[in-house]
Amino acid sequence: MSQNGGRAGDSEARTWTVLELLRWTTEYFGSRGVETPRLDAEVLLAHALGLRRLDLYVEFERPVVPRERAGFRELVVRRVSERVPVSILVGEKEFWSQRFRVTTDVLTPRPDTETLVEGALARMPDATRAYRVLDVGTGCGAIALVLAKERPAARVTATDISPQALQIARFNAEELQVSQGVEFLAGSLFEPIGDMQFDLVVSNPPYLARRDSADLPAELEHEPELALFGGEDGYRVLEPLAAQVVERIRPGGWVLVEVDPSQAETVVGWFRSSGLEDTGTLRDLAGRERVVVACRPEAEKQAEKTRPEDASKERGGLDDVAP
């Protein structure tokens, strides 16, 4: 299976099996710097053959006919020469054991974001309770729809500034059969929700720093800049989100936000300054501080904090003149 045309005749004349194509493509991807060569080869070949990835293992000896091989070759070439992510080539990505449609209009869900989902579910322990959940910047809907799937009694609101992203999220909601429990709203940050409050606010906002773009993988060029970059320093969305979120959380409710590990300490500080408590971080599979969490104090605790230290001052200083 020649990529440069030098031995195309020999390549086309022979019969290739599934296993042979996987071995050849894995080696080719590895030599071209593809980070996960075997996985990418399997996903692309399964897509070209109309199979599930696991099906390849029981069809290793299956001959791959020229028509199928031509379609596979096109995917391989685009993966290497254009650095198109596998998820965009096949039009979907698995996240939390569910399949989501993805395109160049949305961010591809990453395994690191499952850390946020785990943390969110831990803060919604009662599967029968009608939690109010807000997902800010939902993209393809991965976070919001998984939470709706895992907590079917919850009422989930998902927002995004991109109409194209919301269209994809709605499609995914229909595919996962959770559209009845999810409301989609267009707008930036908390703009679309008015004065609504929630038991849980989650977000995977754009947090990459534009100044670091030259060092990022070429694959990111195929994903929307709006969903990737948080301004020159990465904080353009994180800072107002941290400042405004306290008013969007019910007393006793939680916020969980995905960040770059280098931003965790700063965002924790912003949450504390806004009046949130129990601030901390959750670590991803690589041990990095990936998610910042915080809680709004219960109403009783808030009242105690605002109570004057000297009750006499609240009464206008009567104790000063009392006999």
Strands 198-203 and 182-186: unpaired
194-204 pLDDT, tens digit per residue, is: 999 999 999 99
Ranges in the chain annotated CATH 3.40.50.150: 95-304
Query: Cα(205)–Cα(194) distance, rounded to whole angstroms?
Result: 20
Of the candidates 80, 104, 86, the residue with the CA atom closest to the CA atom of residue 40: 86
Cβ–Cβ under 8 Å, residues 56 and 46 = yes
User: pLDDT tens, 238-248?
Assistant: 999 999 999 99
| Mean pLDDT lowest among 101-105, 237-241, 308-312 | 308-312
Cβ-contact 3, 76 below 8 angstroms = yes
pLDDT above 50 for 5? no
Indicate if the alpha-carbon torsion angle 64, 66, 71, 72 is positive or negative.
positive
User: Which stretches of the chain are DSSP H helices?
Assistant: 8-13, 18-31, 37-49, 66-81, 86-90, 114-122, 142-150, 163-175, 225-228, 238-244, 264-273, 299-306, 311-314
pLDDT tens, 229-266?
A: 999 999 999 999 999 999 999 999 999 999 999 999 99
Residue 229 carries which DSSP code? B
Band (6; pLDDT cuts 50, 70, 90): very low
Concatenated DSSP letters of 6-68: TTHHHHHHS-EEHHHHHHHHHHHHHHTT-SSHHHHHHHHHHHHHT--GGGGGG-TT-EE-HHH
Look up residue 125 and give its two tokens.
């322990």
pTM of the model: 0.85
Q: Which of 122-131, 297-306, 313-322 has the highest mean pLDDT?
A: 122-131
- How high is the pLDDT of residue 301? 56
How confident is the model at residue 308, as a pLDDT?
47
Does 8-81 carry CATH code 1.10.8? yes
CA separation for the pair 95, 97 (Å, rounded) = 5
- pLDDT category at 321 given cuts 50, 70, 90 is very low
Return the pLDDT at 15.
84
Matching CATH number, 95-304, of 3.40.50.150, 3.40.50.720, 3.40.50.1980, 2.40.50.700: 3.40.50.150
Give the tens place of pLDDT for each residue, 81-92: 999 999 999 999
Delimiting residues of CATH 1.10.8 domain(s) in the chain: 8-81
| Average pLDDT of span 117-134 | 97
pLDDT of 7: 46
pLDDT attached to residue 51: 93
